[in-house]
Structure 1
C-alpha cells in the first residue's frame, strides 16, 4: 500500500476549503479573544481557565496550515517530518488541553451555583455544609486555578512529547503510508497508550460536563421559581450557556472519540484490518477530526456567553469603534 491509497475526493477536495474557512474565522475570533482577555485581570478561576483555552486554540490554529498543505498534496520529506513529529502532536495536545479546561469550567460553575448557593447551605446540616463549603471555595480561587493549569499543561505535555521523540527520521522509512509507519516499536506502543489515556480523559470530562450543567439548570430554575419572580430571562441566559458547552462537546468532540480507538487499532494491527476497512476508518477519522478542529470557532461563543467581563469588554470596544466611525463619517460630510 502506498501513500496515495488513503487519498479520496473527500480529503483532497472537500476538506481543504473547509479548513481554510475554519482557519481564517478561528484566527480572527481567537486573536480578538486574546486581545480582550489578556487585558482582563485573572482574578477568578473562570477567567484563568478561559485564558488557557484561548492559548490552546491559538496553538491548534498553528497546526492548520501544515494539515492543509498535506491535503492539497504538497508532499516533501521535510514537510512530512514536521507534520508527523510536531504539528500533528500539537493539534491533539492543544485539543485535549482545551477539553480539560472546559471540564474545569464546568466544575467551577457547579461548585459556585449548586454547592455554594444560599439555598444549598441553609439546611439542618448547615454546620457540615459550611465546612464543606470552605473547602469548595478553594476550587474557585485564582491561585488554585493557576496551579491546576500548570499541572494540566505539564501532564499532557508528558503524554504528548514521546510521540515527537519516538519517531524515526524519514530516511529510515521511505515506504510510509501514515505517521504511524514512522514510529519506533516503543513509539507505536506509547501512541496507543497515550490515545487510550486521552480518550478516557475525554469521556470522563463529558460525564462531568453533562452532570454539572444538568445540575446547574435544575438549580437555577428551582431557585428562582422559589423566589416567585419572573425568571424567564435568567433561565434563558443560563440555558444558552449550558447549550453552548454541550454543543461544543457533542458536535466537535464526540464523533472523533467514537472512532478514534478503532482507527488506532487499525493502524497498529494492519494484519487484522482489511485495506478497505482501514481506508474507511481513515476517512471517518479525518471528517471527525475536522469537526474537532471547529472548536476554535465555537469556543469564542462560550467566552461571550459565560464570561460577563469578556462580553462587556467586547461590546464596549465595538461601541467605541462604531462611535469613532460615525465621527469620521460626520467629519468627512462636513468637509464636502
Structure 2
C-alpha cells in the first residue's frame, strides 16, 4: 500500500521529510495513539460483555476490532519517523504494517456503510431488529434484503465476507513486496515490489478507493433520507420534543461527521499521490514532495478516527452506553464507600 513512513532517506535519494512530517506529526500521533488505545481498549472490554443480538452491535464490534488493528501499526510509524530502526524498520512498514493500516481503514469504512444502511432501515421503514433470516427470504413482497441489515446472524455473515474480501484484496500487497532490500531501496515501497506487485498495488488502490466512493454515496443517501424524514416528522407532529430530536441528531449524524472529517480529505488526494509513485508517471520532484506532505496530513486525519469512533459507539449504541455508565457509576460508588470507610477508621 502507500508508503506510510517519512523517516530519514539516504542523501542520494529524494527526501520527502520536512518540519511537518518530522516535528509536527510525530507528537500528534503519540497523542492519538495514547488516547485511541485507552478509548478502544475500554470499548473492546465493554463490547465483549455486550450480547451481539442486533446487527448494529455486530457492526460496531467489528469497527472496534478494526481500530485496534490500526492502532497496532502506530508504534512502527512513530519509531520510523523518529529515526529508530535504521533501514530495517521502513522495510517492515512497507511489507506489513502499512498494508495492515489501510486494510483496517477500509474495513472500518465499509462498516460505516453497513451502519448507515441499518439506521436507514430502522428510521425510514421502522423495521424491528429481530427479523429472522427465514422471514427475510420468505416474505418476498414484504421484508427486503435491506431489512436483514438489522439481523445479528446476517450481520455476522456480512462481517465475515467483508474481512475476507479485503484480506484477499490486500494480502498480495504483502506477498508481492518481496524484492531484496538494502539501504538504498528500503525507503521506497515501490522499489520493493515485483512487477506484478506494482500492478496489484495500483489495482488494489483503485478497488479500495472505489469502495470508499461507493460508501460515501451510500452514506450521503442514507443520512439525507433520514434527515428529511426526521424534519417531516417533526413538522407533522409539532410536539415539544426538541430534546428527543436533538439527541437523535447527535447519535445519527456523529457517524457522518467522522466519515467526512477522517476519510474524505485523504481520498481526494490519494489517486494523484499513488500515481506520483509510479516510475513512469513523470511527476516533478516538487510535485511529489507536495503530494507527500498532503498525503501525510490527510492520512493523519484518517488515523484520527480511532479516537472518534468510541464517541460513535457511545452515542449510537444504547447497550454500550448503559454498560459504560453502569461500570462508571459502580466504580464511583465503590470509591465513595472506600473513602467513607477510611474516614470512619480515622
Q: Distance in 2 between matches of 1:193 and 1:271?
A: 16
Q: Distance in 1 between matches of 2:62 and 2:145?
A: 24
CA contact (8 A) 2:40 2:68 kept: yes
Spell out, residue by residue over 1:5-40, the C-alpha distance to the aligned partner (whole angstroms, 9 max, x if none).
Answer: 111111111110000000000000000000111101
Spell out, residue by residue over 1:209-258, the C-alpha distance to the aligned partner (whole angstroms, 9 max, x if none).
Answer: 11111211222232344334222112111211233112111111111001
More displaced 10-residue stretch of structure 1: 109-118 or 247-256: 109-118
Q: Distance in 2 between matches of 1:187 and 1:2?
A: 25
Q: In the alignment, is residue 166 of structure 1 matched against residue 176 of structure 2?
A: yes
Q: Which residue of 2 aligns with 1:243?
A: 253
CA contact (8 A) 2:181 2:192 kept: no
CA contact (8 A) 1:81 1:169 kept: no
Q: In the alignment, is residue 66 of structure 1 matched against residue 76 of structure 2?
A: yes
Q: C-alpha displacement at 1:4, in angstroms?
A: 6.2
Q: Distance in 2 between matches of 1:74 and 1:170?
A: 21
Q: C-alpha displacement at 1:304, in angstroms?
A: 0.5
CA contact (8 A) 1:221 1:235 kept: no
Q: Distance in 2 between matches of 1:169 and 1:7?
A: 24
Q: Which residue of 2 aligns with 1:124?
A: none
Return the TM-score normalized by structure 1: 0.92
Q: C-alpha displacement at 1:206, in angstroms?
A: 1.1
Q: Within 5 A, what are the aligned runs for 1:164-313?
A: 164-171=174-181, 174-269=184-279, 272-313=282-323
CA contact (8 A) 2:103 2:167 kept: yes
SS in 2 for 1:7: coil
CA contact (8 A) 1:168 1:183 kept: yes
Q: C-alpha displacement at 1:278, in angstroms?
A: 0.4
Q: C-alpha displacement at 1:135, in angstroms?
A: 4.4
SS in 2 for 1:131: coil
Structure 1 residues not aligned, in runs of 5+: 119-128
Q: 2:89 aligns with which of 72, 76, 79?
A: 79
CA contact (8 A) 2:117 2:146 kept: no
Q: Distance in 2 between matches of 1:146 and 1:7?
A: 43
Q: C-alpha displacement at 1:178, in angstroms?
A: 2.0
More displaced 10-residue stretch of structure 1: 318-327 or 267-276: 267-276
Larger helix proportion of the pair: 1
Q: Which residue of 2 aligns with 1:19?
A: 29
| CA pair 187-145 structure 1, distance change in 2 beyond 3 A | same
Q: C-alpha displacement at 1:185, in angstroms?
A: 1.1
Q: 1:93 aligns with which of 103, 107, 110?
A: 103
Q: C-alpha displacement at 1:116, in angstroms?
A: 3.4
SS in 1 for 2:181: helix
Q: Show structure 1 runs of 4+ deviating over 6 A.
A: none
Q: Which residue of 2 aligns with 1:148?
A: 158
Q: Which residue of 2 aligns with 1:126?
A: none
| CA pair 2-287 structure 1, distance change in 2 beyond 3 A | farther
CA contact (8 A) 1:27 1:58 kept: yes
Spell out, residue by residue over 1:180-208, the C-alpha distance to the aligned partner (whole angstroms, 9 max, x if none).
Answer: 12111111111111111111111111111
Spell out, residue by residue over 1:34-57, the C-alpha distance to the aligned partner (whole angstroms, 9 max, x if none).
Answer: 011110111010000000000000
Q: C-alpha displacement at 1:133, in angstroms?
A: 2.8
Q: Distance in 2 between matches of 1:317 and 1:167?
A: 46
Q: Which residue of 2 aligns with 1:123?
A: none
Q: Which residue of 2 aligns with 1:34?
A: 44
Q: C-alpha displacement at 1:332, in angstroms?
A: 1.3
Q: In the alignment, is residue 324 of structure 1 matched against residue 319 of structure 2?
A: no
Q: Distance in 2 between matches of 1:35 and 1:175?
A: 41
Q: How many residues align?
A: 326
CA contact (8 A) 1:22 1:294 kept: yes
| CA pair 136-174 structure 1, distance change in 2 beyond 3 A | closer
